[in-house]
Structure 1
Amino acid sequence: MRADDLVPLGRTGLRVSRLGLGLASVGGLFEPVSEERAAATLDTAWELGVRLYDTAPVYGYGRSETRTGAALAARPRDAYVLCTKVGRLIEPGGPDTQPIWADPPAGVGPRLDYSYGGVLRSVEESLERLGLDRVDVLHVHDPDEDFGGAVGEAYRALADFRARGVIGAVSLGVNHAPVAARFLREAAAPGPDCVLLAGRYNLLDQSGLDELLPLCAERGVAVMAAGVYQSGLLADPRPGAPHGYRSVPAELAARIEALRRVCADFGVPPLAAAVRFPLGHPAVASVVVGARSPEEVAGSVAFLNHPVPGGFWAAVKAAGLLPEAAPTPA
């Protein structure tokens, strides 16, 4: 398994690299990123074989989409899959501001809008910021913010785009697996093609396995697993490190320490195990990781390409660190 292996994105007809690049960081997630550094990050991802890129209007209030489009403008359009999101419009005085964005553009902010017309406007404005003629995958972003509007009008707008061939796939971008499972069950047929699941199927949280992933496998819905590093918790579990825990709960710290011991026994970096684990599930097509520098992209590629010895996953399960039901990579 390599980061640049291309695989089908479920039933969509699209093909994606096993490693995708999430582009919140180049929009200024938590700390500023210069235009030059953002461009170098995307260029390095391309050079290393990444062909799946995921952005959103809310990432830096349009900044991520603008930088993504500029970096991809010279690339062959049919050689990569580009995802963005709907559900928030970026406009003057938008009230749904988020403190996680460093130095966002002045005077604008997001406003939640899952209406049919809002989705049409969102896509039009995303294409303008991207400077591209199409988006391959559109996620309904955070549908739990207005579930009725998201599963109703927003989904209907995206389904119409799909039926007309304007986009290749309808998807969800979610942080909560039960929300995605409910959406798949309630959306009008044929339903979404994909789910971008953040933080709910990784070495520390397998809650996506309870209902969502089996449902996706049953329906042929492709999953893109994000948040696999748990904001760096596996790399540096110290309190106050960038993962955001002021005090890491004792039970969680013990699990991380036990996992790091198994990794050391087999010579597997913890982040290599983290980026590989989700790909053992048949519904998971790709793992999407964030990066704010060329070095971080190169590190994630190296982690996914790192060989994992036979017996490693069995040892992880034997230590009680994964449920027996969790599929693991071959």
Structure 2
Amino acid sequence: MARLGRRGPYVTRMGLGGAPYAASDVSPAAAEAAIHRALERGIAFFDTAPLYGSGESERRLGTALRGVPRERYVVCTKVGRLLRPGPVFDFSADGARRSLEESLTRLGLDRVDVLLIHDPDEHADEALAGAYPAIERLRGEGVVSAIGSGMNQTAMLARFARETDMDCFLVAGRYSLLDHETAWPELLPLCVEKGIGIIIGGVFNSGILLGPAPGAPFNYAPAAEEWLERARRIDAICRAHDVPLPAAALQFPLAHPAVSVVLTGVRSAAEVEQNAARMAHPGPAALWRDLRAAGLIAAAVPAPA
């Protein structure tokens, strides 16, 4: 367990991302089985959002958690999208409150633990003037324990770290074993300084760190050859130490003192088991030394011991 920032809840080191199990080709029963298996395996941080499956992720999570003692899990959801009937951007204070109210209804809960402003890339000023003060008040009222923002970029999160009193950030795809040059020089040291906890999403960079085969995706697009070659070099060193590449990818971000939890997106109970096994397969110190010696982990970036 690790604390999510200086005043957030304590969270399990691996969490479940809520987008994949909300897909239309995943049955509600399969989603529920995945969530239950996560709890059985000690994975109790659940990230969701109204945008995932147009509310289906929250509904499926709420159904699966019904009857589970509230203290056994941590739920994180997001504001910034209202379903009217499709997703509509709304980073106003009123929009943030309405978004949370609707999320609580879909989840069947009276509170969530973590509330994030979702991808305000083109709406930073509106989010800072509207949604942020609203969720800050919700934290003060005890409706949520921790607040922050979730994004696929780091520059705006660094701005938020300087200008707000947020507790945590979800950083998607920008601090991975393959691609960590973006986040570590500025954002992560700033988060350590200010006591902001980091949730890591996109730990496999959308697929390339599951296996760097030709055509593998990197951040939701076909990987360029330079990224495939870098991933192949990482994979070769992992193989030399008898460590699966996905296992190393899961464990790498957790070595940074700012990082509290890594998310894995799953579609079935079997995938939960697979990721739990990966997390339980620690890489030896020599693996990380060899990756650093090969220039595949930056010199100043922490690696697992």
State whether TM-score is above 0.5: yes
On the 8 A contact 1:199/1:226 being kept in 2, the answer is: yes
Of 64, 67, 81, the match for 2:60: 67
The CA distance in 2 between the partners of 1:201 and 1:242, in whole Å, is 16
Residue matched to 1:217 = 192
Residue matched to 1:254 = 229
What residue identity is the alignment partner of 2:18?
L
1:245 is displaced (CA, Å) by: 4.0
Residue matched to 1:54 = 47
Which stretch of structure 1 is more off in the superposition, 232-241 or 31-40? 232-241
Residue matched to 1:12 = 7
Identity rate, percent: 48
What residue identity is the alignment partner of 1:45?
A
Residue matched to 1:201 = 175
1:203 is displaced (CA, Å) by: 1.0
On the 8 A contact 2:4/2:10 being kept in 1, the answer is: yes
2:93 paired with 1:119: no
Of 254, 264, 280, the match for 2:255: 280
Of 133, 146, 149, the match for 1:156: 133
Residue matched to 2:281 = 306
Deviations 1:130-161 (A, max 9, x none): 01111100000002131111122100000000
On the 8 A contact 2:50/2:57 being kept in 1, the answer is: yes
SS in 2 for 1:203: coil
Change (3 A) 1:250 1:327: same
Q: CA RMSD in A?
A: 1.2
1:241 is displaced (CA, Å) by: 4.2
SS in 2 for 1:61: helix
The CA distance in 1 between the partners of 2:249 and 2:173, in whole Å, is 11
1:250 is displaced (CA, Å) by: 2.1
On the 8 A contact 2:161/2:194 being kept in 1, the answer is: no
On the 8 A contact 2:81/2:99 being kept in 1, the answer is: yes
The CA distance in 2 between the partners of 1:19 and 1:153, in whole Å, is 31
Alignment of 1:29-108 (within 5 A): 32-92=25-85
On the 8 A contact 1:239/1:245 being kept in 2, the answer is: no
1:236 is displaced (CA, Å) by: 2.8
Of 19, 23, 40, the match for 1:24: 19
Deviations 1:229-250 (A, max 9, x none): 111112232333465544x322
The CA distance in 2 between the partners of 1:123 and 1:163, in whole Å, is 15
What residue identity is the alignment partner of 2:259?
V
Change (3 A) 1:149 1:284: same
TM-score normalised per structure 1? 0.89
The CA distance in 2 between the partners of 1:160 and 1:65, in whole Å, is 23
The CA distance in 2 between the partners of 1:43 and 1:79, in whole Å, is 12
The CA distance in 2 between the partners of 1:227 and 1:245, in whole Å, is 13
What residue identity is the alignment partner of 1:71?
A
On the 8 A contact 2:138/2:144 being kept in 1, the answer is: yes
The CA distance in 1 between the partners of 2:88 and 2:140, in whole Å, is 27
The CA distance in 2 between the partners of 1:116 and 1:73, in whole Å, is 30
The CA distance in 2 between the partners of 1:178 and 1:326, in whole Å, is 18
1:13 is displaced (CA, Å) by: 4.5
The CA distance in 2 between the partners of 1:34 and 1:210, in whole Å, is 42
1:169 is displaced (CA, Å) by: 0.4
On the 8 A contact 1:213/1:283 being kept in 2, the answer is: yes
TM-score normalised per structure 2? 0.96
Of 75, 99, 120, the match for 1:143: 120
Unpaired runs of 5+ residues, structure 1, are 1-5, 93-108
On the 8 A contact 2:93/2:130 being kept in 1, the answer is: yes
On the 8 A contact 1:73/1:132 being kept in 2, the answer is: no
Unpaired runs of 5+ residues, structure 2, are none
Residue matched to 1:102 = none
Deviations 1:69-88 (A, max 9, x none): 01011111012110000000
Deviations 1:54-106 (A, max 9, x none): 000000000000000010111110121100000000112xxxxxxxxxxxxxx
The CA distance in 1 between the partners of 2:6 and 2:163, in whole Å, is 19
Change (3 A) 1:312 1:240: closer
What residue identity is the alignment partner of 1:23?
G
The CA distance in 2 between the partners of 1:85 and 1:77, in whole Å, is 19
Pick the structure with more helix per residue: 2
What residue identity is the alignment partner of 2:53?
G
The CA distance in 2 between the partners of 1:145 and 1:124, in whole Å, is 24
